[in-house]
């Protein structure tokens, strides 16, 4: 577990913002990932919310140099195994179930499980997790809530996702218990639909500047 945590942290520390992507057309996956990597965002979370998500992960893993593709919205053992087979280097879930934790134990690919309450964090710590996704960040209490967890739950690091934007990202990134944030604003649907990859690269570059 220690090696998996170290590997996950190595990925999350690549950049201050991990793009959270919903890809509707598989042909967008490679140019989108290339645009993000060019802008400095190498770790890329592709959510399993569309029928082409696994194919998109596979394409990015095979064709985009420098990209570190991960799978998001992983809800069960089947999702986990399929995402790993597609080439995911990290797994992200909005929560954690016994089935999902068992799949993670059997896999070499590290998981970033979601938690929103002290009890959820404590339960995951008992399973050996020190790095978690704080989700849904804004709706669950925002940066001030997460800051209040830093002392009683010292030693736990978070990647807040959900409602994080350029306007509030620094509020999270300034916290001692935040390693990075997850955000969808670096790949807005209108730019993706228009194939404006240069525009997405500029957004990625701006996101990199949010680093502390």
Residues involved in catalysis: 45, 133
Which of 13, 9, 55, 17 lies closest to 36, judged by CA? 17
Using N-to-C axis directions, what is the helix angle for 53-63 and 29-38, rounded to 10°?
A: 50
CA torsion through residues 142, 83, 111, 181, sign: negative
Q: Report whether 73 contacts 67 (CB < 8 A).
A: no
What is the torsion angle, in degrees rounded to the nearest 10, for the CA atoms of residue 155, residue 76, residue 164 and residue 68?
Answer: 80
Expressed in angstroms, the distance from the first to the final Cα of the chain is: 28
């Amino acid at each position: 577990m220690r090696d998996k945590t170290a590997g996950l942290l190595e990925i999350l520390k690549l950049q201050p913002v991990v793009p959270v992507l919903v890809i509707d057309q598989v042909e967008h996956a490679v140019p989108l990932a290339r645009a993000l990597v060019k802008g400095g965002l190498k770790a890329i979370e592709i959510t399993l919310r569309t029928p082409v998500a696994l194919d998109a992960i596979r394409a990015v893993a095979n064709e985009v140099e420098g990209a570190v593709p991960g799978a998001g919205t992983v809800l069960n053992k089947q999702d986990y195994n399929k995402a790993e087979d597609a080439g995911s280097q990290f797994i992200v879930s909005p929560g954690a179930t016994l089935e999902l934790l068992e799949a993670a134990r059997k896999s070499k690919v590290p998981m970033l499980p979601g938690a929103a309450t002290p009890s959820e964090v404590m339960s995951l710590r008992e399973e050996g997790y020190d790095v978690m996704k704080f989700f849904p960040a804004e709706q669950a209490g925002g940066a001030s809530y997460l800051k209040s967890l830093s002392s009683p739950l010292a030693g736990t690091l978070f990647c807040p996702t959900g409602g994080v934007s350029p306007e509030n990202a620094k509020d999270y990134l300034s916290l001692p218990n935040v390693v990075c944030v997850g955000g969808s604003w670096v790949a807005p649907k209108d730019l993706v639909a228009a194939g404006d990859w240069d525009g997405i690269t500029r957004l990625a570059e701006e996101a990199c500047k949010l680093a502390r």
